[in-house]
Amino acid sequence: MSSKIGIIGTGSCLPSIVVTCDEMDQALNARPGWTQRATGIRERRRAPAETSLSDLAVDAGRAALRTAGVRADQVRAVIVATVTPDPPVPAAATRVQDRLGLTDAFAFDLNAACAGFLFALEVARPLAGADAERPYVLVIGGDVWSRMIDPLDRTTWPLFGDGAGAVVLGPVDSGGFLATKLATSGALGDLAVGGYSSALPGPDPASTDHLFKMRGAEISDLMMAELPRLVQTVTDMAGVKVADVDYLICHQANPKLVGRCAEQAGFAPEQNVNTGEIFGNTVAASVPLGIDVAVRDGRLRPGSLVILAAFGAGMSWGATLVEWSSLGLREE
């Protein structure tokens, strides 16, 4: 069994309701075009009332297992990165495990907000390949964030959408994960706060206390300062140059902000995988959705170097450098 671990399958699921920038402008009583000018977002997705986080996660996970060619009995663990489970107990991952028939896998949720998927990858890597009979780990990032934001709040309402993305980790012939740097500063925890269950159709109209709030300017400053450092750190750790990296897939905090951060870190616009323009900020789903898009449109090919990066409430942030792999070493 190879000691190298990589991503061997990807999948995604987006809810059916499309919210356009015109609709967001109207909800905010803003001038036409304000949302797109301010954020770079043209549209995003919203889950119908009957759709839960685990519904999206199951569909994304099923797609990732299918593209990886992995059987249910070969999966050792299921990790769902989310802050909007349905409800918090039991974990959303247990529902995913059951509905996908992954009866031999253990399952749990992980919460690091928008950085959750990267943190989940770090937890998953040593689990993948360690068991010869079950060498694969399903990692899903997903959130139903539209139920946690105030439609009258210009700092959050235009940004956040719903969705789920998934990857399968397993042994690979070449490439795989090269370097990772994660960080948390609990002292900055009050920059982004909120809490709600995605199983409910919407917030209590009598109160907005539970809805998500953030200090956007300070978070933007943190991203502008830290993303170039993260990029330099993981490339130094791997012994490559920033110029050698083909793509950056950053969580879509705000597409315009991410574009500025990417340029500051040394990436040309065409190297920045921008999904926020049509999906918005899908929190823990943002990075795996970007991966799946880049795989399906042919940008990520064997040998491609890609940096995955994210910043989440906590505050938590991180980056990982991956050499894109060919098909994994699968047991038939």
Q: Which of 111, 272, 274, 281 is catalytic?
A: 281
Residues 6+ apart with CB under 8 A from 102: 72, 75, 78, 96, 138
User: Which contiguous run of DSSP H or E holds residue 162?
Assistant: strand 162-171
DSSP assignment letter at 30: P
254 catalytic residue (yes or no):
no
Q: Which of 13, 21, 114, 261 is catalytic?
A: 114
- Cα–Cα distance, 168 to 6 (Å, whole number): 8
Q: Which of 21, 111, 250, 251 is catalytic?
A: 251
| Selection from 198, 195, 216 nearest residue 207 by Cα | 195
Q: Indicate the residue type of 266.
A: G
DSSP assignment letter at 160: B
Joined tokens for residue 326:
């060919």
DSSP assignment letter at 186: G
Asked if 101 and 72 touch (Cβ cutoff 8 Å), the reply is: yes
DSSP assignment letter at 35: H
- Cα–Cα distance, 169 to 135 (Å, whole number): 8
DSSP assignment letter at 317: E
Residue 77, Ramachandran bin (φ over 0: left; ψ between -120 and 50: alpha; else beta):
beta
Strand segments (E) across the chain: 5-13, 17-20, 43-46, 75-81, 106-110, 136-144, 162-171, 176-184, 192-193, 213-214, 247-250, 305-312, 316-323
281 catalytic residue (yes or no):
yes
- Cα–Cα distance, 321 to 71 (Å, whole number): 27
Catalytic (active-site) positions: 114, 251, 281
